[in-house]
């Protein structure tokens, strides 16, 4: 089935590499906030000034945005629109798809420019794509091993779940 | 599609409330939002028309607590129920971990319910999911109204697979958390068994 085995699992070392890369990108582009979102709306990592921002909501809406424009692309015979740009009075948002699966979002103002963002994103996308490729490979390899690293939920009980709902 | 982050020790899952227009999907989520402690919930987002019909989706992030050291977060989504918003519904089902079908118990909405269940099956199938295999619960909403079908009739028409079902009156909250708990439990159990979608 097409949708099987697509759960995203990130380990400490993966997250560190991802965060390092987006921190570098943030510095290079002089942007305010960068975050990575899974296409299904889950926030993977973020870097920057996010104190006043609801990054969870931003992540969900970004995924919705990409999904909607993907639907529009199909209607006109395109595979997808891989870059979206929203221009505001003060802040702008640059959105791009990496390795067909992850969405890179950069929020920047007049201290940066669209040109520099596009340029740096291109380079950084390759690095991030490589990291996610390795994450995927690791997951597939794990799937082939008898038990892999296992799910953190392997030993949960009905009582554990009941407790969640207090 | 769940997302397990070992670095921040978080498990994220996506639950979609599906069903015919004006059946009470948004009301379910709104009630959960209203009754949840501020520290356990994020902002509720409603992309709705001026007449408060859901246009794209409602979204509510919910932190349920910790299981075995992992923070468990559920992202609740609703779809727009109106028939002509099918493209949006398909998009929202992407990466779903569990589905709640909110049925409108009123007799005159029976056809709309059945059409929506069929639509759910088809849209899931397009994404490579089988409704019979994913975490799934059914809620018979609006039980307080006069002109409602019996539970037996609803079961026969809408729940042939006999998945867990609940009677509800969403504005007052009756059945709302029971429904959420049942689907959350199935999602976590599926993750436990190393499954997932």
HEC secondary structure over A75-129: HCCCCCCCEEEEECCCCEEEEEEECCCEEEEEEECCCCCHHHHHHHHHHHHHHHH
- pLDDT, position B195: 59
pTM for this one? 0.87
Chain A CB within 8 Å of residue B45 CB: yes
Chain B CB within 8 Å of residue A73 CB: no
Determine the Cα–Cα distance for residues B90 and B39; give it in Å rounded to an integer: 31
* Ranges of residues in chain A whose predicted pLDDT is under 50: 1-5, 146-149
Q: Which chain B residue has the Cα nearest residue A70?
A: B91
Chain B CB within 8 Å of residue A80 CB: no
Chain B CB within 8 Å of residue A15 CB: yes
The strand pairing partners of B77, in sequence order, are B16, B59
Bigger pLDDT: B13 vs A49:
B13
- pLDDT, position A100: 87
Give the closest-approach CA distance of A122 to chain B in angstroms. 26
Give the closest-approach CA distance of B197 to chain A in angstroms. 5
Per-residue pLDDT at B34 exceeds 50:
yes
Task: Provide CB contacts within 8 A for B15, sequence distance 6+.
Answer: B74, B75, B76, B77, B96, B97, B98, B99, B100, B180, B183, B184, B187
What 8-state DSSP symbol labels residue B82?
S
Q: Stretch B30-37: mean pLDDT, rounded?
A: 95
Q: Which chain B residue has the Cα nearest residue A13?
A: B7
CB contact under 8 A, A6 and B7: no
The burial of A146, by beta-carbon neighbours within 10 Å (0-12 exposed, 13-18 middle, 19 or more buried), is given as exposed
Give the closest-approach CA distance of A125 to chain B in angstroms. 21
Chain A CB within 8 Å of residue B72 CB: yes
A20-50: buried (b, 16+ CB within 10 Å) or exposed (e) per residue? ebbebbbebbebbbbbbbbbbbbbbbbbbee
């Amino acid at each position: 089935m097409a949708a099987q085995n697509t759960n995203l699992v990130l380990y400490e070392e993966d997250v560190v590499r991802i965060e390092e890369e987006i921190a570098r990108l943030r510095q290079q582009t002089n942007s305010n906030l960068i975050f990575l979102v899974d296409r299904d709306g889950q926030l993977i990592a973020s870097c920057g000034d996010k104190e006043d921002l609801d990054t969870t909501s931003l992540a969900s809406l970004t995924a919705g945005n990409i999904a909607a424009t993907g639907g529009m692309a199909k209607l006109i015979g395109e595979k997808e629109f891989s870059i979206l740009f929203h221009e505001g009075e003060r802040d702008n948002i640059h959105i791009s798809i990496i390795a067909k699966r992850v969405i890179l979002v950069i929020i920047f103002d007049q201290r940066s420019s669209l040109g520099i963002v596009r340029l740096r994103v291109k380079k950084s996308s390759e690095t991030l794509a490589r990291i996610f490729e390795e994450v995927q490979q690791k997951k597939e390899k794990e799937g082939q091993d008898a038990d892999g690293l296992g799910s953190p939920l392997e030993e949960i009980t009905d009582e554990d779940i009941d407790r969640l709902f207090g | 599609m769940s997302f397990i982050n070992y670095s921040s020790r978080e498990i994220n899952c996506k639950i979609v409330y599906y069903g015919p227009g004006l059946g009470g999907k948004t009301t379910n989520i709104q009630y959960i939002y209203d009754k949840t402690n501020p520290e356990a919930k994020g902002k509720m987002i409603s992309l709705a028309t001026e007449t408060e019909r859901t246009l794209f989706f409602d979204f509510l992030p919910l932190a349920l607590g910790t299981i075995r050291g992992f923070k468990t977060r559920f992202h609740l989504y609703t779809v727009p129920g109106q028939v002509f918003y099918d493209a949006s519904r398909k998009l929202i089902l992407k990466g779903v971990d569990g589905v709640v079908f909110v049925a409108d118990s009123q007799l005159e909405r029976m056809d709309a319910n059945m059409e929506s269940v069929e639509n759910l099956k088809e849209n899931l199938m397009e994404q490579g999911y089988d409704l019979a295999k994913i975490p799934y619960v059914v809620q018979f909403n609006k039980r307080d109204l006069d002109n409602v079908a019996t539970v037996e009739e609803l079961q026969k028409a809408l729940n042939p697979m006999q998945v867990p079902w609940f009677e509800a009156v969403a504005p007052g909250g009756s059945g709302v958390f029971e429904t959420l708990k049942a689907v959350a439990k199935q999602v976590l159990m599926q993750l436990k068994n190393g499954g997932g979608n």
